[in-house]
Amino acid sequence: MYERKPAVEGSFYPKDPKEVSRMIDSFDSKIELPEEMLTKRPKILIIPHAGLFFSGLTATYAYKLASNFKYDRIVIFAPSHRVYFKGMSCAKYDSYMINGKNMKIDSEFSEQISGIFDLPFIEQAHSEEHSGEIQFPFIYHYFPGIEVSTCVYSEYDPDELSQIIDHILLNYTETLIIISSDLSHFHSYDKCRKIDTVLISGITALDIEKISSGEACGMIGIKAAVDSSRRNNLIPNILDYRNSGDIIRDKSSVVGYVSVSFT
């Protein structure tokens, strides 16, 4: 079996699966979602990808909401942090290894999307990348047994990614789409909040131009999700926002995190 082995296990999240479960259960216990949110199934989620200690609570808002609904598969669109290349690559492993267990890849879906949109498999883009992997502990926790597909992009046109999202929304209606992204990086606490507020207001308004005034490592994915949401009449809901300065005392250089649901 051709497995994708963990790259950030033991750093971004614990090696011990019991410790991972304890952390996610602790985050979950702090969240109470409004009843009206539970009436509409999320089709797209924006979820951060820092370590569990930093962005885990924000991520849990999105996963807890989505766990109230049934999906056939989850597809993750994640930015490359380590490897530069032109385009996007969908993983063609047989499975992902996470905390000593296998998560199955929806290989048929990955093959179909790759064929239709001419997406090669570039293993280097996946093997050490954390932006997709950090979603796996949550997926395993909230959606045990579900099949997953991860696509990593580097230099890629948001319009092209938006076309792929449109295709999934139309032809794979039981699929949950995850856009993996953190927000602004390494500003002071107040400057981070100021920059992120602009981007978040752009998401709420489905305003690409305003979003472009913010900062995000997954900006391509965010723009694509918003563009598709406009065309498909999806409504954005901000579930949680905070930055690393809300979690640790050091507020001199922080990173922003947001979770958003599009229904």
At 99-130, the pLDDT tens digits run 998 999 998 999 999 999 999 999 999 999 99
Q: How many helices (H) and strands (E) does the chain have?
A: 10, 11
Residue 4 backbone phi and psi in degrees, to 5: -95, 115
In a domain, residue 3? The reply is no
75-88 pLDDT per residue, tens: 999 999 999 999 99
In a domain, residue 25? The reply is no
First to last CA, the chain: 36
Q: Please name every residue paired with 78 in a beta bridge, in sequence order, or none if there are none.
A: 152
In a domain, residue 14? The reply is no
In a domain, residue 18? The reply is no
> To which residue do tokens 């909230």 refer?
142
236-251 pLDDT per residue, tens: 999 999 999 999 999 9
Provide the domain count of the chain: 1
The pairing of strands 175-180 and 44-47 is: parallel
In a domain, residue 99? The reply is yes
Task: Give the C-alpha separation, 25 to 149, whole Å.
Answer: 25
> Residue 2 — very low, low, confident or very high, per pLDDT cuts 50/70/90?
confident
122-143 pLDDT per residue, tens: 999 999 999 999 999 999 999 9
3-state secondary structure of 60: helix
Answer with the residue of higher pLDDT: 100 or 177.
177
Give the range among 99-103, 161-165, 223-227, 235-239 with minimum mean pLDDT. Answer: 99-103
Task: Give the C-alpha separation, 108 to 124, whole Å.
Answer: 21
The parent domain of residue 250 ranges over 36-262
> Rg for the chain (alpha carbons), in Å?
17
pLDDT at 64 over 80: yes
For residue 69, what pLDDT is reported? 97
pTM metric for this prediction: 0.96
4-13 pLDDT per residue, tens: 999 999 999 9
SS3 content of the chain, % helix, strand, coil (to 5): 40, 25, 35
Of 46, 59, 36, give the one whose Cα is nearest residue 200. Answer: 46
In a domain, residue 62? The reply is yes
Domain of residue 185, CATH code: 3.40.830.10
In a domain, residue 6? The reply is no
For residue 1, what pLDDT is reported? 57
Of 30, 262, 12, give the one whose Cα is nearest residue 136. Answer: 12
State the number of CA atoms in the 13 A half-sphere of 262 facing the CB: 28
CB contact at 8 A, 174 and 73 = yes
In a domain, residue 95? The reply is yes
CB contact at 8 A, 255 and 185 = yes
